[in-house]
Structure 1
Amino acid sequence: MMLRGALVPGMIALPALAAAFWAYAGEHAALSALAGAATVFVILVVGLLGITAVVLGPAATSMAGAGVVYLGQLILIVTVVLVLRGVDWLDGRAFALSAIAQTLLMQVGQVVGYVRARHEIHPGSLDRGAAS
């Protein structure tokens, strides 16, 4: 459910961000925005799959494993930015803004998916959590 919650807004945002930057600043910015959004999309989806695998493993290593996956995502995003910074066709502002927007949209979708996927263990436990 969390993966679907992140995939849907992420897939919608890819063409939407490219179109918005195309309308605002032209084809050059649209390609850069698409590159930024696609970079984040791929890295976050792979990270979600990685966290899913970590959580299915031993409970004692779940937090450490999730931290490693998160750190790996950050390292990959920074690596892509460093590799692409010298490319002539890249509009850095469009890349960065679309990457930030994509990250926020996918994180909100992931949280919504997580909340929807929760299962009630004790009758009324979810109701009390919402009231506090």
Structure 2
Amino acid sequence: MTTPPHRTPVQGMRRGVLVSGVAGTIVLTIVGAMAKGADGALSALAGSLLAFVVILVGLLAITVIVAGDPAVSMAGAGVVYLGQLILLVGALLVLHGASWLEGDVTAFSAVVATVLLQAGQVTGYVRSRHVLYPQVGRA
């Protein structure tokens, strides 16, 4: 008898990130446009898409980590989260001097989008159906 592959929470997390990311990007771009016009919309779009891409890349890394040893998956996810924040702050610092962006709007949009994306990721994790201890029952 073969053991069925264990389900991971990544599919639910991906769904939560995609829904919150698309909705957040649209809303933040509209808010940026209302606040600072076309430059604000572009800046808000850049900030929210930057956060969206960083979180999606981190989710790909979490996919690899969850496929490995379950004992280290939470620690690995914590390292990925810290790496995401460092990458996002570094990218914002690089974009800070860009003359074609409103720096405050870009930073605000990136921070709000990051919070929305993390909320979507956590909601997807909580709502997903997955095995908590996949090693139990294996001999």
Query: Which shifted more, 30-39 or 111-120?
Result: 111-120
CA RMSD of aligned residues (A): 1.8
Which residue does the alignment assign to 1:15? 26
Which residue does the alignment assign to 2:103? 92
Q: Could you give the per-residue CA deviations for residues 38-82 of structure 1, whole angstroms, max 9, x where no partner exists?
A: 000000011012112101101233233223312221221122112
Which residue does the alignment assign to 2:15? 4
Structure 1 gap ranges (5+): 122-132
The answer to whether structure 1 residue 102 and structure 2 residue 113 are counterparts is yes
> TM-score scaled by structure 2?
0.78
The answer to whether structure 1 residue 116 and structure 2 residue 127 are counterparts is yes
Query: Which shifted more, 56-65 or 39-48?
Result: 56-65
Q: Could you give the per-residue CA deviations for residues 72-119 of structure 1, whole angstroms, max 9, x where no partner exists?
A: 212211221121111111211111111122112112211221121135
Alignment of 1:1-80 (within 5 A): 1-80=12-91
Question: Closer, same or farther in 2 for the Cα pair 1:110/1:63, shift >3 Å?
Answer: closer
> TM-score scaled by structure 1?
0.82
Bigger share in helix:
1
| Inter-partner Cα distance in structure 1 for 2:111 and 2:88 | 11
Q: Identity percentage over the alignment? A: 53
| Inter-partner Cα distance in structure 1 for 2:55 and 2:130 | 24
